[in-house]
Amino acid sequence: MKTQEEYLQGLKKWLRDTEEVPLEEMSEFFAKRLGDYEEHMSVWEKSYRLIAEAVPDECRKILDLGCGTGLELDQIWKRNPETEVTGVDLCRDMLDKLLDKHPDKRFTPVCQDYFQYDFGREQWDAVISFESLHHFWPECKKELYRKIYGGVKAGGVFVLGDYIACCDEEEELLREACLERRKRFQIPEDRFVHFDIPLTMEHETALLQEAGFRIENIMDENAAIIVCRKADIVIL
């Protein structure tokens, strides 16, 4: 088991070693790795089960942000085969694979930037996302969490499974590296790239609470899973 100091030393070495590697556009990154994506992500198997368990059984209408090939949905549909899911993802190839895996399920694919997606008003029993949001700036996530809060029904949940920075230093290292590489490779601000910029648990939960959510549970098995609840009664 690495100490925090050893982990940060390894991270700094990785940043030096990859300094000249161009950043890849998000959807292209995943399309190129579709063949071995599910094998690569198998390390999160327990986390997928925990996400499914965190979604209340009575939830029948779910929105999945960054659904990919649906590894978390595999587990949700095992528990509740009739669950209706809308999955939003930038990569059409991944959505197509999900559809091939589950042609009999009530699934609506949306190939779109989920920051631009219309969540509606109190439309979803649950919103979920796994290993996706750590690629985006906190300013973007702040607005997204507000939209999710508005889209979830009163008493509903947002289940976030994601990479969490171990400390402020990791958060700052990756944020500075991303900004520097975007500038050096002349990447426009509105273009999504595959580079990790996670927040610490303190900063992540602060954004969720600012949006209005109550943090109900935090599970730390491989990826941190944060279960957020919307108030049973919402005063408009």
Q: What is the CATH number of the domain that holds 208?
A: 3.40.50.150
Query: What's the CA gap between 27 and 194, in Å, rounded?
Result: 9
Residue span of the structural domain in which 92 resides? 42-161+187-236
Q: Supply φ then ψ for residue 189, to 5 degrees.
A: -60, -30
Q: Is residue 49 part of a domain?
A: yes
Closest CA to 87 of 71, 55, 110: 110
Residue 221 binned pLDDT confidence (cut-offs 50, 70, 90): low
Tell me, what's the pLDDT at 92?
96
Rounded to whole angstroms, how far apart are CA atoms 15 and 29? 19
Instruction: For residue range 70-94, list pLDDT tens digits in order.
Output: 999 999 999 999 999 999 999 999 9
- Which of these, 80, 60, 71, 61, lies nearest to 30 by C-alpha position? 71
Residues 45-65: tens digit of each pLDDT: 999 999 999 999 999 999 999
Confidence band for 177, pLDDT divided at 50, 70 and 90: very high
Q: Give a yes or no: residue 104 inside a domain.
A: yes
Distance CA 133, CA 217 (A): 19
In a domain, 28, yes or no: no
pTM for the complete prediction? 0.94
